[in-house]
Structure 1
């Protein structure tokens, strides 16, 4: 199928996926991303073979991933994610990184780059995927939501840093670390700028153009995103780091300059991301999914449950051990399951691994497949645990019609 035809097909799937999620959600809440990826696999070369993408669709997919990470960065409220909870979440992720790298090193027979790829992928948390589920169930508010935000934020931000240091720079982690420090310094300066009070005219322009074709606030946010993506690229770092930093900066600027309009502005950014770019990313992920490599030969298929178990052991076990003491056992287990849910960063990391020829197609498919199963299974189990515990639920659970993100 031609590129325009493939794009039409992708957008048709983007419309069909939430309908399927809504219909099934009455009986079993399935994250929307599962439908998007599975339908992408169906139209991809290994099943129907009717979708083939080119540079244009690849660019849209890359923008979708950047928007996904940007929105995840925007969701983080550092005013609530701090203190002992933040320290515990950092220690849990560092323990997961050490455990993941050690496990991957043993499994790969000492292959350094492969160990970096697999070990880093095992430490990720799909915060963007989990957040809508938490929001729909009412668990985002209260103590559990605050703890989950801390552990999820570190589980998303940590792997991005690790990717930058371990997987960027063509095997020169020292150089990547220096570049990362320089990027951090520039970002810190941008944060200081963002925290400064905005002049009255800035908020006035936002208010006057919010319901007009000018849309100054939306354009300003897109400029911030483009600037941080360009900055990370200029420093030779992964652009996901720039997208995440742009999300943090955007929250600071909007809440400082136009707090009364920030939610409306975010809604319009989310409409652009979740309504167009993010679905393209997940559907293209499905199209690119190497189903034959997963099913042929048997080894890759056997690796899938192994990786799924490792998500729980490597990422989940440190979370359970280091979770705040005031959480009940059921809530600690739910936190473990949510934190072990992974997919978008797994896709990004395995893509780097394939580009570096550190992973085989089967290994990459097994990792992504395990991430897909984690998104399907772990949040459902966590929802049941939270419903049984009945603690701090601020709204009655309702079917999760899907998640537009990690």
Structure 2
């Protein structure tokens, strides 16, 4: 298993991350050629070798040609956002960007990771500006150079065959920042929203060390935060920001590591209790929750204060979905508040196989662990269809499928 450890020495920003991945061995030509298949503004990208306080690093030079005009976007997002507002870009909504990625020819994992990052940022911006995440205009993080950074990073992760991402705690910087709406505190509001549930690190530095793009990458893609994991380092990369600081090098570092034990996946558990909702209303709320990409949601009967019978609603989701889960619970139930806690899980590796049985096609899910535990289950909807079509009981279909599978495995 290949693991990327992100060492946020001086925070994290999109361009620094992409530069660090290229420095660690991600193929520059692969990144550029795959980006060029997308319907985005023409751009020129190169990675310069620079030295920051004695550390040899890569530095991203990005020129975006917007409506026939070339703009120099070589400023680091990490410490100078001015370039993101000085140009007359077409501001895409989150929905536009999701569509652009979904319709592309990028690999499935690149699409999945890119959409996860934009989803996290859209929810944060939506919360700050009080609007639907789909309608968020990515004026702070969706200028064309940031779209290139985020998708470029996901292409680089795939080129390095990264399976999981672990990050150090994150320094944010301090002071004030000129943004589209005026003078804002550092970290910026969207960055702060994204950093909820992510451990922060102290570092005395005036300026923006972690940007919304950087925080979005960590929120969506990092499975855990902490020290360097056990394992073998196979490659190291340094990505440089534009600014120089008096007391520390303005770089971020990535370590590509092999033979790292799989880290447990982070989850968020959202809960609330109600004692004044009808069964129909509770059923409707559950349907609304399952419209989002959650792992599970369920009801538990509980006795509340004054011995009132009530219902405990529990929703298990990825950290990036926690915000929309909370909003759904507040909107669709009578609760006055939602509790959220973090947990971890160790999911078994899953694969799907289609069995072409005499009763029709039946999908079977195989699950396994690295230490040899193996489980399988037949897809319920396929069993149900076969039972209805052949006028059999569910148990008869299960037994017939099992017998057929066992007979065919001998051949």
TM norm. shorter chain > 0.5:
no
The one of the two structures with greater contact order (alpha-carbon pairs below 8 A, sep at least 6) is 1
More strand per residue: 2
Highest CA radius of gyration, 1 or 2? 2
More helix per residue: 1
TM-score, normalization by structure 2: 0.29
